[in-house]
Amino acid sequence: MELYNLSIRKAHELLVKKQISSVELTSAVLANIHRLDPKIRAYLTVVEQRALEQARKADIRLHSRENITPLTGIPYAVKDCFSTRGIRTTCGSKILQDYIPQYSASVVEKLNNAGAVLLGKHNMDEFGMGSSCENSAFFNTHNPWNLERVPGGSSGGSAASVSAGLSLFAIGEDTGGSIRMPAGFCNIVGLKPTYGRVSRYGHIALVSSFDSVGPLTQDVYDCATVLQTIAGKDPKDGTSLPDPVPIYTTSLEKSINGLRLGIPREYFQAGMEAGVETVLQDAIRVFEKLGMQVQEVSLPHTRAALPVYYLILFAEASANLARFDGTRFGYSTNQKVESVIDLILQTRQEGFGEEVKRRIMLGAYTLSAGYYDAYYLKAQKVRSLIREDFRSAFEKCDVLLAPTCPTTAFKIGEKKQDPLTMYLSDIFVVATNLAGVPALSLPCGFSEGLPVGMQLIGNHLSEEILFQIGYAYQAETEWHNMHPLIT
């Protein structure tokens, strides 16, 4: 196997045995970026010399055998919504195209302290607003399994990168499926942790009450490895949880025999592609073979999840994006203006893309006088009902199984002109963000040559059991070991 296709676990083993060096590993990945990224376009920024310097420092650390972690010397990259000191951070937007932060996000600092090697920043839908990575202000990212298809969004660059061997893992952010959908489309593992399990400090917010930071990896073991490094209380983020972080990898091989697997009836109804449903039913049979007790459950407010999610998203996003006004940092118009108000209006008109403008306008409308109670407040009340649905379901079962997406990856441009059709791609992923519970997407097969992902959804802070069940599934299947052939 090529070095750039190694799992974190295997690469760590070779590094500590001195069979490879971090410089060799990082150089192999960088060479693969040079070879393939002109076709895939996963990266907005590559910091090659900085990465090689970090790799040299990691090799010194590995040679001394002091302070070695499972991620020491492992090359990775982050979605471009995380602040990185001295490295351009754009959020996929023209309005931040030349912004260079003076500090790094907590998740980046933790990985730096662990000795991981930062390769660069991944492309994304502008400010996380999209399901296909077509809303970047710079260029589209392509799915490694079929270059005419989308990789999913908004962490599309991150998923495509891990799938194609352009980074051994990536850090993404999930507001309403933005880690899990691209993971499903690109045949990798992606985790949306419990809200607050990972610090959001230094992440450029989209929807503060939804945003969750998580890993994208080749397999479940690697996902557990990364989460135990980046999770935990952060005094810089008041929403981060104080609960102790388990060493997730030590419990992966526990038997799942007797655990209860819930199948939400609302997730297996009309609208799902036949090939996707066939693959999901095959996966359920694998869990039955492993001794899990499969039962149907109901999440009765599922039909309301998508409109509730988007109403709250529009409102919070319009408030969060108000800071980008051309007066403090980021892009500012070059047009002649007569007042500060004109400056702000012209800057935002030129700097934001169409989807961002659409969502800002809808958000401002839902928060305006006379409409707040009818839309935003009502959506928050229904959000409480959705949380209660999950609480009731987890009284009957240990974990839920659902499709990640109702379809496989669609063609680039296929849904770009129809925002409502694009929003429907999120139908199976947004409810977990409303409820704040964790969800793990992992590969479970192919339909007409394209990857299919499934979600394992758990109760609050149940990442450990999600990893156990996902690991047991991957011990029985080979889907996660398949790599795209890119010519």
Distance of CA 321 to the CA centre of its chain: 20
Rounded Cα gap, residues 273 and 59, in angstroms? 48
Q: Give me the mean pLDDT over the 258-263 stretch.
A: 98
Rounded Cα gap, residues 20 and 475, in angstroms? 27
Tell me the pLDDT band of 420, cut-offs 50, 70 and 90: confident
The helix/strand/coil state of 10 is helix
- pLDDT score recorded for residue 474: 98
Percent share of the chain, pLDDT over 70? 100
Pairing state between β 212-217 and 260-264: unpaired
Q: pLDDT, tens digit, for every residue of 148-205? A: 999 999 999 999 999 999 999 999 999 999 999 999 999 999 999 999 999 999 999 9
Tell me the pLDDT band of 104, cut-offs 50, 70 and 90: very high
Spatial CA neighbour of 149 closest among 423, 355, 478, 447: 447
- pLDDT score recorded for residue 338: 86
- pLDDT score recorded for residue 20: 98
Three state DSSP letters for 422-443: HHHCCCCCHHHHHHCCCEEEEE
Tell me the pLDDT band of 55, cut-offs 50, 70 and 90: very high
Q: Is the pLDDT of residue 270 over 80?
A: no
Q: Which residues are annotated as catalytic?
A: 79, 154, 178
- pLDDT score recorded for residue 240: 98
CB 12 within 8 A of CB 74: yes
Taking CA atoms, 52 is separated from 20, 21, 34, 55, 84, in Å, by 14, 11, 15, 5, 17
- pLDDT score recorded for residue 149: 98
- pLDDT score recorded for residue 326: 87
Pairing state between β 75-79 and 450-458: unpaired
CB 392 within 8 A of CB 384: no
Reported as type and span, the H/E element at residue 349 is helix 340-351
CB 42 within 8 A of CB 150: no
Tell me the pLDDT band of 419, cut-offs 50, 70 and 90: confident
Q: Is the pLDDT of residue 78 over 90?
A: yes
- pLDDT score recorded for residue 437: 98
Q: Is the pLDDT of residue 141 over 90?
A: yes
If one compares 345 and 223, the residue with the highest pLDDT of the two is: 223
Domain 3-259+398-481: give its CATH architecture: Alpha-Beta Complex (3.90)
- pLDDT score recorded for residue 329: 82
Rounded Cα gap, residues 181 and 130, in angstroms? 11
- To 5 degrees, how large is the angle CA 126–CA 43–CA 309? 30
Q: pLDDT, tens digit, for every residue of 462-481? A: 999 999 999 999 999 999 99
Tell me the pLDDT band of 400, cut-offs 50, 70 and 90: very high
- pLDDT score recorded for residue 424: 82
- Beta-ladder partners of 413: none
Rounded Cα gap, residues 174 and 215, in angstroms? 10
- pLDDT score recorded for residue 337: 87
- pLDDT score recorded for residue 444: 98
Rounded Cα gap, residues 200 and 486, in angstroms? 34
Tell me the pLDDT band of 271, cut-offs 50, 70 and 90: confident
Sheet containing 189-192: order of strands: 43-46, 117-122, 75-79, 169-174, 212-217, 189-192, 439-447, 450-458, 399-403, 260-264, 293-297
Percent share of the chain, pLDDT over 90? 91
Return the structure tokens found at 436: 């704040």
- pLDDT score recorded for residue 17: 97
CB 461 within 8 A of CB 208: no
Spatial CA neighbour of 427 closest among 315, 215, 266: 266
- pLDDT score recorded for residue 445: 98
What are the residue boundaries of the structural domains of the chain, listed by start? 3-259+398-481
Q: Which residues contact 126 (CB under 8 A, 6 or more apart)?
A: 91, 92, 93, 135, 136, 137, 352, 353, 355, 356
Mean of pLDDT over the chain: 96
Q: pLDDT, tens digit, for every residue of 224-246? A: 999 999 999 999 999 999 999 99
Q: pLDDT, tens digit, for every residue of 290-300? A: 999 999 999 99
Rounded Cα gap, residues 399 and 379, in angstroms? 26
Tell me the pLDDT band of 416, cut-offs 50, 70 and 90: confident
- pLDDT score recorded for residue 328: 81
User: If you write DSSP's letter for every residue of 18-37 in order, what string do you get?
Assistant: TSS-HHHHHHHHHHHHHHHH
Rounded Cα gap, residues 300 and 385, in angstroms? 9
